A and B are shown apart, each in its own frame.
Chain A
Amino acid sequence: MFEARTWRTRMVLQVALTLLVLPYLFPLIVMVKGSLAGQGFSNYTAVLAVPGLARFFVNTIIIAASVIVLVYGVTMMAAFGFAKLHIPFREFYFWLLLACLTLPEVVLLAPLFATAIRLGTYNTYWSVILPLAALQVPFAVLLTRNFINGLPDELFEAARVDGASSFRGFIYLVIPLTRPIAAAVFIFTLIAAWNDYLMPLVFLQSTAMQTITLVPSFFVGEFSNDQTKILASAVITAIPEIVAYLCLQGLFERGLSAGAIK
């Protein structure tokens, strides 16, 4: 955007950018440096030696994967229905869904807690998966419906004339054509499910069920507030997220912009 014709302006821009980016780097440096304080790398070996650490990761993967599958399935179907099929009072249903967009998860605590206790789903994966998926669906449907609206009606009508059922239209047209927006839905849902703290905090009680966002509080108990170990555990839990982002960098950035530009 800025035109930097001379060598000096280019230097000024580069230095300004470097200075601005330092505060973003600082907490990450603090994290790594703190985790190596005291006993150095043996902080990491101590953390990795704690039995059950892998369990937190497995639980997070199970929960995030289930939420993604659930959200993807119901979202694609609903977006197809809203965009291309006949639904009486369609906009009414759509608004029912959209009204949930602004819903903060904390308001679900009391009723879902009471219900989970009654149904016996407390301390199961479902008590976290279902509310997380329910909260992600409205935005995912909004995005995907806008996207499918942009696909030509003629495509679906031609398929119908050729005798294809809605189901075949869904499998052979909607699923392959919505890949770009499905990537956005995937990224949004992954970040939301992977990083969620409140639902696992309230609904998952035994450490065998808990997710990685509860790792810091677990280690506060385990190492009686030894900061270096807690920071080492933070680094260990952050690494998969950073690696996933670096591998799918383009997907993350495109996914997020697809969400807000529309």
Chain B
Amino acid sequence: MRLASRREPSGVAVTETHVAPHRPPSQRAGAVGGGVRTRRQARRPLGLPWILPALTLSVGLLYYAIGYTAYISTLNWDGIGPNPQHVGGGNYTRIFHDPVFWDAVRHTVYFFVVTFLIQTLLGLTFAVLLHSRVKLAVVYKVIVFVPVVLAPAIMAPVFRHMFAPDGEFNGLLHALGLGTLAQPWIGQTSTALPVIMAITIWEWTGVTFVLYYAAMTQVDQSVLEAARIDGAGNLRTLFNVIWPEMRGTTVALAILSAIGALKTFDVPYLVTIGGPNYATEFLGTYIYRMTIPLDHVGYGAALSIILLVVALVMAILFQVAGRERKARD
């Protein structure tokens, strides 16, 4: 996913190198390319009215909400009372000493690493296998992709049922002769988070698979044939030819997974309510818990601001990393 696309005519770039060889590329393009662009755009009609509805809706509503959240985060407020107490940065200092907050952060990181790795592995495997002339490919594709379109909220009761002590998952273990492994999966701290991860992987492998599948159709067939003629086996071709070609897709999926991990709410809230004993608490569920059931609206708002800053810093880091890599290529 390229976050911004600026088209720079190559002719312009060449002239610029003579003008200002020491400035970084982005500035150069802005300076000289700008001149060219202005001349061309002088004839272009003004576009501001065209972007105004989108800006009013998104920027207007969302920035208003963020600004309001920032204000609320300085209050000790239950959300209803007419005279909230101003506490300045008090909520923030409390958050840094809040063990549940740090638990939520740890869960988010752990969740991101595990779900991303397993989804990548599974998505890649499905994409490779379904590109290999198997029978009934469409049936497999549908089965892997259906979870993507099903609402987590609708599947949540199914998973609660399935992972209950007398549920189908333990039933399956017994049937497979693994009855000793049966346990109350969502009722104990040690297994609740892995269950949440498994459900998320179940839900999102379809996306990973579809993206890798689409990327693989773009791999040059002649390169594959050349590798084969050189005597490379299936696995060598996969690791040395196909996998490097998938890098763009993998990076895009890493970004999507990281953002997804920060946004996680539905599954842990509906399947385990963040528990037991905060074992599946994420930033999203903790903000909800603080804001709605516990009425610590100020504290929830401060948590929201921290979540926002983390998300924004991450987005910028990904951007910078993406740019550097592009420059190196």
- The answer to whether A28 touches B146 (Cβ under 8 A) is yes
Other than the given A78-B53, A261-B215, 18 more pairs (CB < 8 A) read: A1-B127, A27-B159, A30-B168, A81-B50, A87-B46, A91-B6, A96-B55, A101-B315, A102-B259, A104-B308, A110-B69, A166-B45, A166-B47, A191-B149, A231-B158, A234-B155, A234-B158, A253-B214
Q: Quick one: CB contact mask for A113-135 with B, threshold 8 Å, 1 for yes?
A: 11100000000000000110111
Give the complex CA separation of A146 and B4 in angstroms. 8
19 A-B contact pairs sorted by A residue (CB < 8 Å): A1-B128, A2-B129, A16-B129, A24-B146, A31-B155, A70-B57, A93-B59, A98-B3, A103-B311, A108-B69, A110-B72, A110-B297, A112-B65, A114-B72, A135-B62, A142-B3, A194-B151, A213-B153, A253-B213
- The answer to whether B5 touches A27 (Cβ under 8 A) is no
- Report the nearest A residue to B71, measured CB to CB: A111
Q: Is B113 among interface residues, defined by CB-CB distance under 8 A?
A: no
Q: Is A155 among interface residues, defined by CB-CB distance under 8 A?
A: no
- The answer to whether A100 touches B62 (Cβ under 8 A) is yes
Q: Is B287 among interface residues, defined by CB-CB distance under 8 A?
A: yes
Chain B interface size band reads: 35 or more
B-contacting residues, A70-100, CB 8 Å: 70, 73-75, 77-78, 80-82, 84-88, 90-91, 93-100
Contacts of B307 in A (CB 8 A): 104, 106-107
Contacts of B44 in A (CB 8 A): 84-86
Known: A86-B47, A110-B69, A216-B154. A102 touches B314 (CB 8 A): yes
**Inter-chain contact count A-B, CB under 8 Å?**
330
B-contacting residues of A (Cβ < 8 Å)?
1-4, 10, 13-14, 16-18, 20-21, 23-28, 30-31, 33-34, 70, 73-75, 77-78, 80-82, 84-88, 90-91, 93-115, 130-131, 133-135, 137-138, 141-142, 145-146, 149, 157, 160, 165-166, 170, 191, 194-195, 197-198, 202, 212-216, 220, 227, 230-231, 234, 237-238, 241-242, 244-246, 249, 252-254, 256-257, 259-262
Known: A17-B140, A113-B79, A252-B145. A106 touches B51 (CB 8 A): no
